[in-house]
Amino acid sequence: MATDILDVAGVNVAFGGIRALSDVSLRVPERSVTAVIGPNGAGKTTLFNVISGFYRAQSGNVMFAGADLLSQPAHTRSGVGISRTFQNIALFPGMTVAENIKLGAHAQLRANLFSAMLYLGSAASEERAIERRIDETVMTLLGLEEFRDSSVSGLPYGTQKRIELARALISQPRLLMLDEPFAGLPTAEKAKMAGQIRKVVAETSVTVLLIDHDMESIMNMSDQVVVLNFGQVIAAGTPGKVQADPAVIEAYLGAEE
């Protein structure tokens, strides 16, 4: 049994009087793919935002690789090995594809103000090194070579999703959080995306935690599925086990989707 890299324990979040997450606990085993599903408004993105450090939990703990996460500000996540994507694709439209992906490695690059302004020695060589690494790894893996130097604005939606994934991968994270990686993709691209995610898990030591609505993709590619409804975990386990759970069936039939 693999150890758990992420341990969410008893997290509660409320906005005003509304409970967004109540007593949510889940464990993510290392090198697995764990999917969080649930109807709209179930609290999936809220959970991601708590782990990312955007929302403050009123109570509860989140441990990553044995260290407490919630006491640390959001920008420290990248340094400890957590990266994520966003539901609405958070790329930087004013930059090229390569520059966007380079930003994924921001926490690993060392240039400081002075070395950057001089752009000699270390600052220049680390830029060349990261460019090479991008070209040799994520660009080829995700088929982005032809867009390398284009501005990201105006690129097709599916391409933008892959760029965001590339940006999240370039830092070689230990935990990769994907917020709706399949949303808005045509069926063929969904399968491609699922294949690429599984390939990354197989080839690197990354652990994936993802949110989505697409049952088929999730059930096919996940090791573990956690179901949220009205901010509570109502089921967790292997895809087969969760699909057969009466509480899950009720939640989905009762919801609009």
Partner 1 sequence: MSAQVSAAPAASFGRKALDPRIELLSWILLVLAMVSVPLWGSVYAVYMACLIAINVIATVGLNITVGYAGLLSIGHSAFLGVGAYASALMWLHLGTPLAFNLVVGAVSAFAVGLVFGIPALRIKGVYLAIATLAAQYSLYFVFQQWTSVTGGDRGLSLPKIDVFGYGDTGFYYVVAFVALVATLAARNLFRTRIGRSFIAVREKDYAAQVLGINVVVTKLVAFGIGAAYAGVAGALLAAFLRIVNPDQFTLVSSVFFLAAVVVGGRGSILGSILGALFMTMMPDLLREVIAHFSSEGADLASLLSPVREIAFGLLIVLFLIFEPRGLVGFVDRALGRAENVEARQEH
Partner 2 sequence: MNLFLEFSLIGLASGGIYVLAALSFVIVYKATNIFNFATGEMMMFGTYFFYLFDTQLGFGWVAGLGMGLVSAALLALAIERTMLRPLLGRPHIVLVMVTFGVGSILRGFAGLFWGPNVRQLPEILPRKPIFLGDILVPGKLAWGFVTVGVIAGLFMLYYRYSRAGTAIRATSIDQVTAESLGINIRAVFLLAWALAGLLTAASGIITASVNGVTPQLGLVALNVLAVVMLAGMTSVGGVVIAGLFVGWMETIVGAYLGAAWQSFIPYLVVLVVMFVKPSGLFGEQRVERI
37 DSSP β-pair partners? 227
Binder among 24, 28, 49, 181 for partner 2 (CB under 8 A): 49
Q: Look up residue 12 and give its amino acid.
A: N
Pairwise CA distance, residues 149 & 94, whole Å: 12
Nearest distance from C-beta of residue 34 to partner 1, angstroms: 19
Note whether 92 binds partner 2 by CB under 8 A.
no
Residues 65-94 close enough to bind partner 1 by CB under 8 A: 73-79, 83-84, 86, 90-94
Nearest distance from C-beta of residue 44 to partner 2, angstroms: 13
| Binding track, positions 33-72, relative to partner 1; x by CB under 8 A | -------------------xxx------------------
Note whether 54 binds partner 2 by CB under 8 A.
yes
# residues contacting partner 2 (CB under 8 A): 6
CB-nearer residue toward partner 1: 31 or 106: 106
The DSSP symbol for 107 reads G
Note whether 99 binds partner 1 by CB under 8 A.
yes
Note whether 15 binds partner 2 by CB under 8 A.
yes
What are the angstrom distances between the C-alpha of 104 and each of 77, 134, 207? Answer: 12, 10, 17
Q: Cite the beta strand spans of the chain per DSSP E.
A: 4-15, 18-29, 33-37, 59-64, 67-68, 82-84, 175-179, 207-211, 224-229, 232-237
Comparing C-alpha atoms, which of 181, 189, 135, 137 is closest to residue 161? 181
CB atoms within 10 A of CB 220: 13
Note whether 16 binds partner 2 by CB under 8 A.
yes
Local structure of 13: helix, strand or coil: strand
Nearest distance from C-beta of residue 54 to partner 2, angstroms: 6
Contact present, 1 and 29 (Cβ < 8 Å): yes
Q: Which residues of this protein are in contact with partner 1, per CB under 8 A?
A: 52-54, 73-79, 83-84, 86, 90-96, 99, 102-107, 109, 111-113, 116-119, 123, 127, 149-151, 153-154, 167, 171
Q: Which residues of this protein are in contact with partner 2, per CB under 8 A?
A: 15-16, 45, 49, 54, 86
